[in-house]
Chain A
Amino acid sequence: MPTSTQTTATGPAAGAPGPALGPDVHGTKPKAVIRPGDRIFSAATLIAGILILAILAGVALFLLAQSKETIDAQISDPSAITGGSGFFAYVWPLVIGTLVSSAIALVVATPFALGIALFTTHMAPRRLAPALGYVIDLLAAIPSVVYGLWGIALAGNLTGFYIWLAKWFGWIPIFAPGADGSVSNTGRTLLTASLVLSIMILPIITSLTREIFLQTPRLQEEAALALGATRWEMIRMSVLPFGKSGIASATMLGLGRALGETMAVAMILSPGMLTASLLVSGNQTIASEIAQNFPEAAGLRLSELISIGLVLFVITLLVNMAARAIVAKTSVKGS
């Protein structure tokens, strides 16, 4: 838009000195030249845009249609739903488990990811930086089932740490030991699952923020350094403000991955009732609940699992909308 107003503004001015050229310029202007390539390109992008919306709508419709049985049961006979007291009583502990595990993963992973990204872009020796980048990207390529296997092995080794946590920080509800004063003997708790999740989302956040930090205008950085700023001050004053919206959206993408991660959580977590403490076995996430119960599910149970899938879909949608809102807000301030 700005460019078109510019040309109309300069058009008459350019035409004024040379009247002979004027009519020609004005004559060709309204007829924009459209080549076949443009048509194909715009049609292709249009189709791609419509397709993604159609797929999304299709998924939502499928989930809704398959959830109908559960909705009917919720209205006519809530006790038929797993747990015996209606759909919402069944789903809310799962929602909490999902949100808590993702939040922990995000809180742990984000500082690390930012640190790694800043190190590779601004601190690391020139030769080391690309190699580090490859290694981080490699983490993203590891299948989640491998993370699951690794997490199971990790769990057993974390029990000592959990006993220590419960001993010294047991007064914080999330680190409280169980009723008999002990923590999980297997270490397969929500905290372990969240820690593995944090490693799984680390590469996404790292590589996105790295790309963004690389885009920081060189002149701003050099100006900051020339004014006597230290390396840290330069990063704080020029790199981080510039990357603010990028960091927000990278984090949200990581959160999306954590919310939907299925296999690793299903393998590591020892699910059970919702508990406040993260050191005893218990809690469950939506994705893992679906994965574990789908193979033997039929009828209403199958419909229930699909409806909690719908709940996860809605949560993910809300998270993405929130991310968009944050990006829109911060990018205005940042520029």
Chain B
Amino acid sequence: MFHVKKGIFVKLKHLAPSAALLAVGALTLSACGGASATGEDVSGEGDSGLAGTITGIGASSQKAAMDAWTADFVSANSGVTVNYSPDGSGAGREQFLGGNAQFAGSDAHLDEDEAEAAKEVCGPEGAFEFPVYVSPIAVAFNLEGVDSLNLSPETIAKIFKGEISNWNDEAIKADNPDAELPDLPITAVHRADDSGTTENFVEYLKEAAGDLWDAEVDGNFPKEYGGEAAQGTDGVVQTVSDTEGAIGYADASAVGSLGQAKVKVGEDFVELSPEAAAKVVDASPKVEGRSEGDLAFDLARDTTESGAYPIVLVSYHVVCSTYQDQNTVDLIKAWEKFVVSEEGQQSAAKSAGSAPLSPELRGQIETVIDSIKVAG
């Protein structure tokens, strides 16, 4: 979009001034109608003067959001190249700690050892990490005639363990007195591949459903619980859509017209919404024993905060507290500030269906980003 407009503008500059004036008028008009009008101003200023390459490696969950951020950021700062390879969270942290990437994208925050190791690459203050991408995970179901379904964490755990195998089970009826639940076997569909979605979903069950969920938290769904498996988010959504009586979990942005269960938090059943998803991050405590700038959260999956939706995937960016030269510091600051800005978060919400961070959290993150400095 911007390139086209710029091209026209350059060509018109050589024409009569009046024509140029007209063109400017047209540009302003089209900019007003455009999706991200603010980008026009930045490129109009003839760039920020930033130049260089930012390399990031990490979670594939951020891929869609990252594409949007990269496109917007590069069109505003034409001298900058942002490379992000979605090799997985583990690979991202590993490469970042090996000094091969300037930032990492990770679905989990650094653990104790990794935070310690980060001090070797990033200086005494270690790494800064902050959430950039909050993606609500929907519990999607395919039941004809049932539009709204209330589920408690215990019921969800039992369904995915295979202990509740029919929709007319008493446990489901108790939470849905008004719904007409059919006598139909439940087909629980989980991810066949290793994924952050699964990891966050089972972590939720483990924390919210108590001892019921006795499997370890891992990116792979526990095989011993059985059930149907499908590859990727699309696979799960398709299988659930194709199978009457199926229930699965997937990125909220991908579930389309499937019904989405309301999840019991405290005494209420909370419907999935971006605000509800962002709220759970705000209600969560920070991981203890970390440096000032480390915004790693211990997600409160078992929160009783009203209106918070606890099944979310929170993906972080991990950056260094110090970098070797001023240029890199400027680049990283500009980039990460853009990512957590209102504009960046809205852009990700539009293209990846994520939940924008709350203004308070954005404020905290910006303070952290401001404290990034040159080493020594």
Contact = CB atoms under 8 A, between A and B. Distances in A.
A120 B209 CA distance: 63
Contacts of B39: none
A185 B193 contact: no
Contact of B239 (A82, A180, A186): A186
B194 interface: yes
Contacts, number: 83
A79 interface: no
Nearest to B238: A152
B245 interface: yes
B117 interface: no
B226 A272 contact: yes
B229 interface: yes
Interface in B188-214: 189, 192-196
Contacts of B45: none
Nearest to B226: A272
Contacts of A266: 192, 231
Interface residues of B, number: 34
Interface of B is mostly: mixed
Contacts of A301: 90, 194
Given A185-B245, A273-B226, 11 more contacts: A156-B242, A156-B243, A185-B185, A186-B228, A188-B230, A272-B223, A295-B60, A295-B193, A296-B90, A296-B219, A301-B90
B187 A296 contact: no
Interface of A: 82, 152, 156, 180, 182, 184-186, 188, 266-267, 269-273, 281-282, 292-293, 295-299, 301
A182 B184 CA distance: 12
Interface string B218-229: 011001101111
Contacts of B235: 267
Contacts of B40: none
Contacts of B226: 272-273, 281-282
Contact of A188 (B91, B165, B239): B239
A270 B228 CA distance: 6
Nearest to B195: A296
The 8 nearest A-B residue pairs measured at CB: A298-B90, A292-B193, A296-B88, A296-B194, A185-B187, A298-B91, A270-B229, A270-B228
Contacts of A182: 185
Contacts of A270: 192, 228-230, 239
Nearest to B225: A272
B246 interface: yes
A82 B185 CA distance: 31
Chain A CB count within 10 A is highest, among B87, B90, B220, B230, for B230
B94 interface: yes
